[in-house]
Structure 1
Amino acid sequence: MSKHAASGRRRAETTAAPLRPRTAARSTAAPSAGRRRAEPVRRPLGGSAQKFAITAAASGLVLTVALPTTAAAVDPVLPPEATAAPAPVSADPNATLEFDRAALTSKFDPDAKLQGLTVAGTDVTPAAAKGTLATPLDSELVETSSFGYRVSPITGTAGELHTGQDFAATCGTEVTAAASGTVKSAGWHPYGGGNRVVIDHGNGVETTYNHLSAISVSVGDELERGHLVGASGTTGASTGCHLHFEVMVNGTHVDPLGWL
């Protein structure tokens, strides 16, 4: 090797600066004037009624996505007159108020209900039979002796079945049919009923009118509800003027009050 080459090699070795390792201090040092560090992207956060829009262009189309805001809703401010209490409303106390009813009416037809009853012995309940028969007296009914077992007012025997309902009525008071039907019998009753009328209403239902002072119908007559049957009296096994009224279902006596 020549002298000059050796000399040049030594100079290169002595002038080369040693490499320094990267340290945390170096990485956090200010950048040199010749290099610019990338600034972090700062996105706005939140805001009153603020929306974020992300817009992307792809194939000539623009897509916008709106993100909902988390801002709280603010109650609107109402004018004072909107929150004030309403003024009281008054009306003339002598004014006449009229209301129009709907054109829907109903009329209770007791005869139709009576004919529609399914009678099976004495199993007809008062709830089903109630109101199917009219009162046999035009005057206010005054109940005296009820249906059921009692002490006989004539013989004094206890446990006698009173087969009907007694109503107080002066002799000669008009007695009317409790429902439409056919007169089954009209005349003297040999078992204490005196002058007696029996009306067949169909479906096994019959009514009887006892102790009459007069009879105004005949067997076979077709009667309407409220038709005159006769006049109250005290004929037969009776202790005074009254009407003994009976209801029978398939030949069995039942409490008349459950049908009136």
Structure 2
Amino acid sequence: MSKHHASGRRRAGAPVPIARPRDAQRLERRRRATRVRSDLSLTGMSQKVAIAAAASGLVLTIALPTTAASIPAGETAAATGEAVAAAETTVAPRDITVPDAALVDFSRTALQSTFDADAKLTEIMTAAGSAAVPAAARGSLSAPLDDLIMTSPFGYRVSPITGMGGELHSGQDFSSSCGTEVLSAAAGTVTFAGWHPYGGGNRVVIDHGNGLESTYNHLSLSSVKEGQKVDRGEAVAQSGSTGASTGCHLHFEVMVDGQTVDPMGWL
């Protein structure tokens, strides 16, 4: 081996490599690769930091860019109001606590109605007339005395005057002391006030319309006259024992189309 070859010098006949010109596109690709590796490096570092923070109980807040559109200044109030209204509609109902001293009143307004007994009576008589039955007529007439003490009822009986049976007692007797006020059973017009020749003694007859009449018999005196208008419950006479009577009482009759009926079906 020659000295020239041992010293590392090239042989005189070895070709010398020719340097290639730099490629601009290759350089750009290398720079991009360098940036990607840098980004990956930062991402990996952030993940490591997040894992370490979670392990140590820390909370990291990362601000990220948003693509949401911003609200113009002039529409901010309207948008805020809509958001508040939407929030209010979704709020769950809550119990209301009232102090012990507070007055809470849940009373309802009272419903009031006025019953017109005379209008009811007119309705019954207009619809049924002489065919009116106690089930429909009961309560349509008022009591002719403040206290009703029934004695002899309506129907056939033995006459207390003659002692003979088979007599039709045409009304309802009520025991009362002489001079007790007798009251009109309903509003109407007095059609008779005087002496009854067939045993009724002093008698008052009141026409209530539509074929309905009431009579009051054996009176000690009457305080009304024929043609006079009277109201329901108005005093028209005083009880007595005139006519075919054995003592102070009121003989009360109800007539429909001129025929006597049981008064207790109307009281």
Query: Fold-level match, TM-score > 0.5?
Result: yes
TM-score by length of 2: 0.58
- Aligned pair partner of 2:181 in 174, 188, 208: 174
Report the equivalent of 1:151. Answer: 158
Tell me: CA distance 1:99–1:228, structure 2 relative to 1, closer, same or farther (3 Å). Answer: farther
Distance 1:200 1:165 in 2: 18
- Aligned pair partner of 2:134 in 116, 121, 126: 126
- Aligned pair partner of 1:252 in 247, 254, 259: 259
Are 1:229 and 2:197 counterparts?
Answer: no
Distance 1:126 1:248 in 2: 13
Are 1:115 and 2:115 counterparts?
Answer: no
Are 1:165 and 2:172 counterparts?
Answer: yes
What is the CA RMSD across the aligned residues, in angstroms?
A: 1.7
Report the equivalent of 2:143. Answer: 135
Distance 1:173 1:115 in 2: 29
* Displacement after TM superposition at 1:145 (Å): 0.3
Distance 2:242 2:106 in 1: 54
Distance 1:99 1:167 in 2: 49
Structure 1's consecutive aligned runs of 4 or more residues displaced over 4 angstroms after TM superposition are none
Higher helix proportion: 2
Percent identity of paired positions between Structure 1 and Structure 2: 68
Paired residue type of 1:246: E
Are 1:184 and 2:188 counterparts?
Answer: no
Report the equivalent of 1:206. Answer: 213
CA contact (8 A) 1:180 1:223 kept: yes
Report the equivalent of 2:28. Answer: none
Q: Deviations over 1:74-129 (max 9, x none)?
A: xxxxxxxxxxxxxxxxxxxxxxxx87345433332110011112365642111111
Higher strand proportion: 1
CA contact (8 A) 1:119 1:204 kept: no
Structure 1 portions without partners, runs of 5+? 1-97
TM-score by length of 1: 0.60
The SS at the match of 2:165 is: coil
Paired residue type of 2:250: L
CA contact (8 A) 1:195 1:215 kept: yes
Q: Deviations over 1:55-86 (max 9, x none)?
A: xxxxxxxxxxxxxxxxxxxxxxxxxxxxxxxx
- Aligned pair partner of 2:111 in 104, 110, 114: 104
Distance 1:225 1:132 in 2: 11
Distance 1:100 1:107 in 2: 22
Larger Rg: 2
Paired residue type of 1:239: T
Report the equivalent of 1:63. Answer: none
CA contact (8 A) 2:129 2:210 kept: no
Distance 2:193 2:108 in 1: 47
